[in-house]
Amino acid sequence: MIVPDRVRERALRLADALPAYVYDMSALDRHASAVRRALPGVEMYYAVKANPDPALLRALAPYADGYEVSSIGEVAHVRSVLPDARLALGGPGKTDAELALDVHRVHVESPGELRRLIAAGRPRGGRLIDAARPPGDRLIDAGRPVDALLRVNLDVPVEGASLTMGGGATPFGMDPDGISECLELLRGQNRVRLRGVHAHLASGLQAGELLDLAKAVMSFGRELEAAEINLGGGMAVSYTDPEERFDWEAYGQGLAGLRRPGETLRVEPGRALTAYCGWYLTRVLDVKRVHGEVFAVVTGGTHHLRTPVAKGHDQPFAVLPTGRPSRPSHPGHPGHPGCTSPGVIPGTPVSGGRQGTSPLPRGVTDELVTIVGQLCTPKDVFARRVLTSVNVGDIVAFGMAGAYAWTISHHDFLMHPKPGFHYLT
C-alpha cells in the first residue's frame, strides 16, 4: 500500500522510537467532510467504539450531529472532550447507572430494559446517586421524559456481512413481538417518550446492500409511525484493497430517495470514518527462516493492533527500507495480476538475495513473509505469507489502523512498553 509522504517522513523521524501510532488528521478531515457532503438531510452520529481518541472526536465535531456511545465510561469520556455533544446510548446490557444518564437518545434493547428505564429516575428528592457513576456525569432529571428508540432486529437477509447483529436470533435488539411488548409498556406512562426505531443489523456491507436493509427498517418504522429512524452503521471497509472506499454518494442519494417529509434519518458510521487515518509503525527486529518459512519479527504486536486477529485478515502494510542499501524496485505480487503486493511500495529499494536460499544475515528479497510481533503466542500475527522484501532495521507501516485497533487490544499482556501517539495536522 502507498504511505503518504507526511506519514513516511514522520516514520523516519520516529525510527528509534517505535512502535508508535500516527494519525493523519488532515486526511481524516477531508474524508469526514466528503462523507458529510454525501449525506444531505441525514443525521450522522459517530460510533465512538471505533476509536475514542480525543483528537479524533474533536476532528469529527464539525461533521457529526452527535456521538453513539455504549457505556458509562464512553459517556464520561466524550463529555470530558465535548461537553455539549449529543449522545445516543446503545449497547445490549445497560446498567441502572447507565439508564440514569442524561443523554439525547437511549436505544432500548429489550422489554426488560424498558421496564427498568421506566422505573429509573425516581429517587427521593429528585436526584440519582450511584457509586459506579464517574464523577461529573449528568443525570436525568426525574421529572423529565427520556427520549428513546426501540432497537429492532428484523428477520431479513444479511448475506455477505462481515458481522451480523440482526437478521435472526442474536442478543441485539428485539423481534417484532418484543417491539409489541414495548409498545404496551409505553402506554399510560410519561417517563419514556418513544421517538422512533433503531437498527444495526450487519457490518461490512456495500451501499446497495445497506439501502436494501434501510428499506426494510423504514417500512417497519413507518408501521409504528416512527418520527426517527436510525439505520446504524455497517459501511464496508476493505482491508484487502486499502484504496477502496464505501460509495457514500450512492448511499446518500439512495437515502434521499427513501426519506419522506418529516422523517428524521440517522446513520452511525464508525470504522468507515476513521480506519483510513491511522498508521501503526513498527521496526523489524529479526528476520529468520524456520522449516522453510520466513518470519519477520517486529517491535510491538497485536497487543497494540488487534485488528488482524479480531477480523482474521492480513493487515495491509508497506515496508520502508531503512535497514538496507538501495537496489532496484520490487515487482508486483504474481498472485494478483496488475496489483502490487500489500507489503510493497512501488519503487521501494530492496536488498539482495535469492528466493529459496539459506537465511540471509539481515533479510530476504521477494519472498513470502509472515510478519509477527513480540508476543509469546502463535496468534501474534499481522500478516501471513505476503510477498515482500524485508531487512532487519526496516520500518513496517501498517495502514488502516484508525478504527478498532488500539482500544480493542490487550495492552498489558507481557507488559511491553506502550506505543507513542502522534498527530499530523
- The catalytic site residues sit at 376
Q: Is the peptide bond before 19 cis (omega within 30 degrees of 0)?
A: yes
C-alpha cell at 10: 514522520
Q: How far apart are CA 319 and CA 317, in angstroms?
A: 7
DSSP SS3 for 221? helix
- Contact yes or no for 200/234 (Cβ under 8 A): yes
- Contact yes or no for 382/312 (Cβ under 8 A): no
- In this structure, the strands spanning 146-151 and 163-164 are unpaired
The residues pairing with 284 across neighbouring beta strands, listed in sequence order, are 298
Q: How many Cβ atoms sit within 10 Å of the Cβ of residue 416?
A: 17
Q: Among 140, 124, 236, 231, which Cα is nearest to 193's?
A: 140
Q: How far apart are CA 382 and CA 192, in angstroms?
A: 47
